[in-house]
Chain A
Amino acid sequence: MAEEKKKVKAPKLADPVASSIDVASQEMIARSHELGIETIFDRALTMKQCAIGVQGTCCKNCSMGPCRLPLPKAGIEGEDTRKGLCGATANTIAARNFIRMIAGGAAAHSDHGRCVAEIFLSAARKETEAYKIKDFDKLIEVAKYLGVATTVEVDGEELDRDIDEIAVETAEVALGEWGKAEGEVLSVKKAPKARYELWKKMGVIPRNIDREIVEIMHRTHMGVDQDYKNLMKQGTRAALADGWGGSMLATDMQDILFGTPYPLQSEANLGVMKADHVNIVIHGHEPVLSEMIIAVAQSQEMIDYAKKKGAAGIQLSGICCTANEMLQRHGVPLCGTFLQQELAIITGAVDAMVVDIQCIMQNIANVAKCFHTHLITTHPIAKMEQENVIHIEFDEHHAIEDAKRIVKMAIDNFQNRGAEVMIPQHKAPLVAGFGVESTEYHLGGSFRGTYYTLNDNIINGRIRGIAGVVGCNNARTRHNQDHIAICKELIKNDVIVLTTGCTAIACAMEGLLMPEAAATHAGAGLAEVCETVGIPPILHLGSCVDNSRILLAATEVVKAGGLGNDISDLPVAGSAPEWMSEKAISIGHYFVASGVYTIFSNLPTTGAPVFNDYICKEFEELYGGMWGAEQDPIKHAHLMIAHIDKKRKALGIDKARDRVMMDFASRQAL
């Protein structure tokens, strides 16, 4: 081993403790150095970020460029004379780049959604054996908002419509949302009325999901839209097509096919892998793949097969949002966050890492090469060039066979493990699986379930407000540090946190998704509510595509009453402290456009101060929500809290509520 290490050319190695706050990850980074395997943490030291790209003012949309418009260190006094060759201003360039990121993110979520819609249609038409409709209540709910009749009139009597008919029509209508010729995206109407009306007034209701993305690509082509406000209008429309369209449909259809999540227990971190088990790690985003692998891996046939091959069983775990999807519906443990994908393989215990789409680092193929691990790509749109990568294309008509092949391949690979297995013995218990439906139930049971319980405790001040903290990991910041610092600061100040994506995994690893965390980390008011309901102070709402659940939860809070008429009236704020992907920008922007103050650690807009002010300040006037940026996690959290307090004041709930003692006259007035 030591000899191997000497061969490595990398001059700089990442300091494990400086790279991550997570002990398991630290151990694995140190292990990577022992084994001489380069990881993203090391590369982050050697490769610096492009200073102009970070500012958002590098234009490479035509071959006269790239035109680079850095902001002078001293800033700009007087007129900003910076221009690209064509004359494009810093505002135009930054806005074009920004909305191209929205297009990228919206495309990723929505194309994922389309894939689910296609499988839903196959299932509805009974063209696939593997996928079936699981949640009929959700189907009816989705059918209703898509305008699909759920009842039929027979001889003047209203009867339930045939469920198969409803399913087929719902799937057809849903799939149409991506490319229909006329009308508007139907799910947008699920927003509070005031919000929908505002969007209508602003002209940003998406027409269909694909079109808004295409239009961004058109408008940002050389020499088309050169007004940053007009560009952001389209950026807004595309972001809404994602959050209130593609992502929302993806979540809803996943719930129909795989079940609506309900709270369940599990655990998180690399320590969930078991040395004596066949370890299959699934990484990516679509539950379409993982659902089948779960079904197969839990079958007696495969367990017996694994035992025959000398393993004690099969241990599934997940990375990134696939992990969250498997967790919230089946309690499959979380292996790690985005930045742990290489580290998982470095344990030497992964017999197969199965990936589909999004956030899969190409370097895992290089890491896998150092071990016996099979890296299996499954999606036709996501392949890798390295020769050790195995591609097994997954299609809904042969899903079970494909899954069997993959699981079998992993089991067969168990015996090829080297002696170098080292699984960090760190993991934390968690409770996950919160959603719009389950939250309503848990706030009052089958008879009195209502979001009003939450509102009441916001009004009485036990809960100061609600924060959505979501997003990725980013190798430019210490792994998980900001997620945890911000979340802890928020809950300490009685702000309940809703989380998804890699933030959710980070919180889980830190033990913050355990109900016990309320007593140790939350402020007295929030802790009391958590103890009453039996919930952690941070609620896991699923994958990044499930951020739509947060939008709908906010809508339910509006509907329950007492906190204004629109999402922008609520004492809420959003954050993505360690963001890195284009999806994060799309998510951030649909939250902003939905009326939420949303802060990132940094924004790729600083090179264009006027444009930056437009989205960070003027947007509040237009949409009630705006962007913000703050690197320091504690300041970051307090910007959110200050906004929450501002909203509390506007609602008149900043002071203690008087206890109303009802006398007969006040009962009369009811």
Chain B
Amino acid sequence: MSRLIAFAAIQGGYKVVSQAEGAYKKALATYNADTKVGFPNTGYYLPVIYSLFGIKVETLEDLQEPLDIARGLLPPHIKSKNWLPFLGPLLDAGMAGIISFEVIEALRYLNEPDFYLHAEDPDIENGKLWTGAADDTIFRKRGVEFVDGTAPGFAAIVGSAPDPETAKMIIEDYQQRGLYMFLAANHNGTTLIEQLIEAGVQVGWSTRIACFGPDISSAVFAAGFANRVAMAFGGVQPGDYKKILMYNKERVFAFVNALGDVGTEWGVAAAGCVNWGFPTIADTDITQILPTGICTYEHVVSPVSHDEICAKSVEVRGLKTLVSDVDIACSFGPAYEGERVRGADLHAQCGGGKTQCTELVKMAAIGDIEDGKVILEGPDLDGIKEGGTFPLGIFVQIAGREFQTDFEPIIERQIHHLVNYIQGVMHIGQRDISWVRISKAAIEKGFTLKDIGVVLHAKFHQDFGNIVDKVQITLYTKKADVDKLTATARSNYKTRDARVDNMTDEDVETYYSCTLCQSFAPNHVCSVSPERTGLCGAYNWMDCKASFEINPTGPNQPIEKGECLDTKLGQWKGVNDFIYKASRGAVTHYNFYSMVIDPMTTCGCCECIAAMLPGCNGVMTVGRDYAGETPCGMKFTTLAGVMGGGASSPGFVGHSKFNITQGKFILGDGGLLRMVWMPKQLKEELKDRIVARGEAMGVPGLYDMIADETVGLTEEEIMPFLKEKGHPALDMESLV
């Protein structure tokens, strides 16, 4: 009977709310009421409380209001006979539980500042297994994967499996489906994370296994992540709880797996999650709740065996996941992309400065190649001793009636992540600076070099079916062959770069729209031109063109740019007409080359955000990897909060890293010469291109004139530096 679950969960609600209230009282006795509380590096306060109620918890005493809400939500206990309706009360109790969990976790951060490791991955050697709440840097980086589809959703898993092998089996199944796994709580003292470590599974955000915490309260970080997706990418206003929750039901494909006995606290957590539309799939025999409505399909399904739990879970959530059917010995899937092959695990490697490793994709005539053929020219791995090195050349030939040479670099760029998708194999870099590391585990499973060819063949067909008819791969492992391929490749790269680098907005009549992230940011439409790559950094003009060829009704549509309305600021009639329609009248026009006057709209997934610094007569930009303060007075995450959601915000614009050094970057406002501040890391990453661009704009020393956080974090602090270096922005016309 559902009533028994409801009864237990409501009891759990009372317990958890009381725990939170007790912890709060104790904290008040220890700390001043105005003591700061919160999760690290986030602009969303305690994200569940902030998103649902608009309450900004900043100090200890701010916790009183959410606790009052939680207490007020607790319904009467359910009677054993002639009971009153309990679904609504149950969901309210669940919400009271979730609110309390967030308060409990906030107090844990206060009481035990070192309990969680503030990092993407745990530090296993030092026993730091728990990484706690995802900060905004991780959230944005990973959130983008939800937006672009590489991560279809997440499994919030509480408890532990009966043994490490089962734990590994479940997790690897989800990894192959590309899901994120948010792990929390323990079952009789054992956590899934510990089991996975024991089974030799690499855990952490890099392999999509978030190690939230050992207690059920840490499961609230999953809800906080989901609600930030609604706010950051969906543009839903904090406090609009109905919209926040419906956004999650409709767009965030998450669910709960309960591994182990479901007690009252797990019960209240599960009931809370139903508010989000996240169902619970359990491995123990608890009452099923099959009628639909609050969740899209069933609410509670149990008992589900461990070998079926993944397939059942995605089915219950109504989610289609693709398990790549690639016939190789190792597991394969996007979750392995971030997996590393450390020194101790390494069997052999190529590239990385030790040997040459080169990749090249070339178009071939349809009769010249044989589809599916993988040729290995030279010895395979079996002759190589542990720790050994070898050279590698990956030469892919593609034939297709719709294939064009312009698509070669796009396909070639896929090699990096596709090789990385192989469990136990790590790929770094690209082109002639590639680096492949193969682990002992992969060798044990039976990995051979030919598997690289098998993967590329299968995935190119799968992902680019419209333009790819035949794929043939040749793998060279003899130095002479590799050197020869490298020489050919380099001349190809040169021709390609010249073509792309020299392509200007004036060269083309067609730009492309990008609505790839519209499932998450419904109001935002990107326009991509040759000199303004997509602000998420993932799509340039050529990518959009190829994407349109591959899928003519897909997210990238051609925009005839039409009559130029403003050459300096970059505004076209055709683009205006398109965005007016696409935004349903919300946005009438915008400029490609200005951040001051009607700049382009920004979604939550931009790589960088530029902001005006009027005091310096210049601009700054900050990437999402940089968590610190900036001279505009806002961190990246605050900026993104202000900017996201598809609005045009004069004085700010979202853009990709690459765009910074493109010719038209805020050219209407003076271009890159306005740039007075960047985070050090971003600046260094783009060093060569900034130097080159500075020279091209007639300021050869520009790179050294741009301040970073080591110079200062306010306009006042960096101004003397700019003056001393003679930064060109200071002499330009007034920005405002």
Give A residues with C-beta under 8 Å from B. 263-265, 429-431, 441-449, 452-454, 456-457, 460, 462, 514-516, 528-529, 531-535, 659-664, 666-668, 670
Contacting pair B82 A661 (CB below 8 A):
no
22 A-B pairs within 8 Å (CB atoms) are namely A263-B84, A265-B82, A265-B84, A429-B82, A430-B82, A441-B88, A444-B91, A446-B91, A447-B91, A447-B275, A448-B242, A515-B83, A532-B2, A534-B85, A534-B87, A535-B85, A659-B297, A662-B253, A662-B318, A663-B320, A664-B149, A668-B515
**Which chain A residue shows the least CB distance to B316?**
A659
Chain A residues contacting B294 (CB-CB under 8 Å) are: 444, 448, 453
User: Which residues of chain B are within 8 angstroms of A264 by Cβ–Cβ distance?
Assistant: 84
Q: Which of A442, A462, A532, A666 is B289 in contact with, Cβ under 8 Å? A: A532
Q: How far is the CB of B228 from chain A (nearest CB, A)?
A: 18
- Check B519–A453 contact: CB distance below 8 A: no
Minimum CB–CB distance for B595 against chain A, Å = 29
Expressed in whole angstroms, the Cα–Cα distance for A516 and B1 within the complex equals 11
B84 touches which of A446, A516, A534 (Cβ 8 Å) = A534
Contact of A446 (CB < 8 Å), options: B2, B86, B95, B149: B95
A430-B82, A529-B291, A534-B3 known; A660+B88 contact, CB < 8 A: no
* Nearest CB on B from A461, distance (A): 11
B555 within 8 A of A: yes
B84 contacts A431, C-beta separation under 8 Å? yes
Q: Would B293 and A263 count as touching, CB distance under 8 A?
A: no
Q: How far is the CB of B155 from chain A (nearest CB, A)?
A: 15
Instruction: For the complex, give the distance between the alpha carbons of A251 and B685 in Å.
Output: 70
Cα–Cα, bound, A337→B241 (Å): 44
Tell me, in angstroms, the Cα distance from A263 to B6 when the chains sit together: 17
**Closest B-chain residue to A460, C-beta based?**
B292
Q: Is the CB of A443 within 8 A of B81?
A: no
Inter-chain contact A661/B318, CB cutoff 8 Å: yes
Whether B292 and A456, one on each chain, are in contact in the complex, defined by CB atoms closer than 8 angstroms, is: yes
Q: Which 5 A-B pairs have the closest CB atoms?
A: A453-B293, A445-B91, A534-B86, A661-B320, A664-B149
Is the Cβ of A531 less than 8 Å from the Cβ of B292?
Answer: no
Determine the chain A residues whose CB is within 8 A of the CB of B242 once the complex forms.
447-448
In the complex, A645 Cα to B320 Cα: how many Å?
A: 32
Given A264-B84, A534-B78, verify A670-B2 contact (CB < 8 Å).
no
Q: Once the chains are docked, how many angstroms separate the CA of A444 from the CA of B86?
A: 10
Question: Known contacts A445-B89, A659-B315; can you find 15 more A-B pairs with CB under 8 A?
Answer: A445-B95, A446-B91, A447-B241, A448-B91, A448-B275, A457-B293, A515-B82, A516-B82, A533-B86, A534-B3, A659-B318, A662-B253, A664-B152, A664-B519, A668-B516
Q: Among A452, A528, A534, which residue has its beta carbon within 8 angstroms of that of B290?
A: A528
In angstroms, Cα B295 to Cα A457, docked, is 12
Instruction: Indicate if the CB atoms of A444 and B87 lie closer than 8 Å.
Output: yes
- Cβ of B65 within 8 Å of any chain A Cβ, yes or no, is no
Question: Quick one: closest B residue to A446, CB to CB?
Answer: B92
Contact with A along B6-19 (1 / 0, CB 8 A): 10000000000000
- Complex CA gap A332/B253 in Å reads 47
Q: Give the residue among A429, A441, A454 with the most B Cβ atoms within 10 A.
A: A441
What residues on A are CB-neighbors of B103 within 8 Å? none
Chain A residues with CB under 8 A of B90 = 445
Q: In the complex, what residue of chain B is closest to A513 when comparing beta carbons? A: B82
- Chain A nearest CB, measured from B359 CB (Å): 27
Tell me if B73 is interfacial: C-beta within 8 Å of chain A: yes
A447 touches B1 (CB 8 A): no
C-alpha spacing A534/B85, complex, angstroms? 4
A661 x B87 contact (CB < 8 A): no
Closest to B287 in A: A531
A residues within 8 A CB of B92?
A: 445-447
CA distance A482 to B264 in the complex (A): 45
B251 proximal to A (CB < 8 A): yes
Within 8 A of A (CB), among B581-612: none
A533 touches B3 (CB 8 A): no
B73: nearest chain-A partner, CB-CB: A446
Give CA–CA (A192, B322) in the complex, Å. Answer: 43
A-B contact count (CB 8 A): 130
| Min C-beta distance of A670 to chain B, whole Å | 5
Known contacts A443-B87, A448-B245, A532-B87; A456 and B293 CB within 8 A of each other: yes
- Bound: A262/B246 CA distance, A: 26
Cα separation A667 to B233 with both chains bound (whole Å): 14
Partner of B293, one of A265, A444, A667, A668: A444
Q: Are A533 and B87 in contact (CB under 8 A)?
A: yes
- Closest residue to A451 on the B side, CB-wise? B293
Chain A residues lying within 8 Å of B404, measured Cβ to Cβ, are none
List residues of B (400-427) whose CB comes within 8 Å of A's CBs.
none
Residues of A within 8 A of B518 (CB): 668
Cβ-based interface call for B532 (8 A): no
Cβ-defined contact, A667 with B519, below 8 A: yes
> A446 to B293, Cβ gap below 8 A?
no
Complex Cα distance, B145 from A664, in Å, reads 12
Complex contacts, A441 vs chain B, CB 8 Å? 88
Q: Is B168 an interface residue (CB 8 A)?
A: no
Residues on the A chain within 8 Å of B519, using CB: 664, 667-668, 670
Q: Chain A nearest CB: distance from B121 CB in Å?
A: 27
Known: A456-B292, A534-B3. A442 touches B318 (CB 8 A): no
CB <8 Å contact, A531 and B1: yes
Complex CA gap A97/B6 in Å reads: 54
Least CB distance, A653 to chain B, in whole angstroms: 13
Q: Give the residue name and chain of the B residue nearest to A533 (CB).
A: B87
**Across-interface contacts of A661 in B (CB, < 8 A):** 314-315, 318-320
Question: For A532, what are the chain B residues with a Cβ–Cβ distance below 8 Å?
Answer: 2, 87, 289-291, 299
Residues of A within 8 A of B84 (CB): 263-265, 431, 534
Residues of B near A265 (CB, < 8 A) are 79, 82, 84
Complex interface: chain A residues within 8 A of B1 (CB): 531
Determine whether B368 belongs to the interface, using a CB cutoff of 8 Å to chain A. no
A340 to chain B, nearest CB (A): 22
B370 to chain A: which residues have CB within 8 Å?
A: none
Nearest Cβ on chain B to A105's Cβ, whole angstroms: 32
B87 touches A528 (CB 8 A): no
For the complex, is B308 an interface residue (Cβ under 8 Å from A)?
A: no
Q: For residue B453, give the distance in angstroms from its CB to the closest CB of chain A.
A: 26
The distance in angstroms between the C-alpha atoms of A417 and B315, with both chains bound, is 68
B250 close to chain A: CB less than 8 A = yes
Closest Cβ of chain B to A658, distance in Å, is 11
Q: Across the interface, which residues of B come within 8 angstroms of A452, CB to CB?
A: 293
Nearest Cβ in chain B — how far from A263, in angstroms?
Answer: 5
Would you call A445 and B318 a contact (CB within 8 A)? Answer: no
The answer to whether B292 and A443 touch across the interface, beta carbons within 8 angstroms, is: no
Q: Which A residue's beta carbon lies closest to that of B322?
A: A663
**B residues 38-90 in Cβ contact with A at 8 Å:** 52, 73, 78-79, 81-90
Q: Which residue of the partner chain B has the closest CB to A463?
A: B291
B319 x A662 contact (CB < 8 A): yes
Which residues does chain A contribute within 8 Å of B289, judged by CB atoms? 532
Tell me the complex Cα distance, A462–B275, Å: 21
**A37 to B723, alpha carbons, bound, how many Å?**
111
- Cross-interface CB contact of B81 among A263, A429, A529, A670, cutoff 8 Å: A429
Q: Tell me the smallest distance from the CB of A215 to a CB of chain B, in Å.
A: 43
Per the bound structure, the CA–CA distance linking A441 and B88 in Å amounts to 6
Looking across the interface, which residue of chain A has its beta carbon closest to that of B516?
A668
Interface residues of B in 91-150 (CB under 8 A from A): 91-92, 95, 149
- Chain B minimum-CB-distance residue to A428: B82
For residue B516, which residues in chain A have a CB less than 8 angstroms away from its CB?
Answer: 668
Residue of A nearest to B241 (CB): A447
Residue from the set B79, B251, B519 with the largest chain A CB neighbour count within 10 Å: B519
Given known contacts A445-B87, A447-B242, A531-B2, A431 and B293 CB-to-CB distance under 8 angstroms: no
CB-based contact B293/A449 at 8 Å: no
A515 CB → nearest B CB, Å: 6
CA distance A514 to B83 in the complex (A): 8
**Nearest CB in chain A: distance from B310 CB, A:** 14
CB–CB A442/B87 < 8 A: yes
Q: Taking the nearest CB of chain B, how far is it from the CB of A518, in angstroms? A: 10
Complex contacts, B253 vs chain A, CB 8 Å: 662, 667
Report the minimum CB–CB distance from B687 to chain A (whole Å): 36
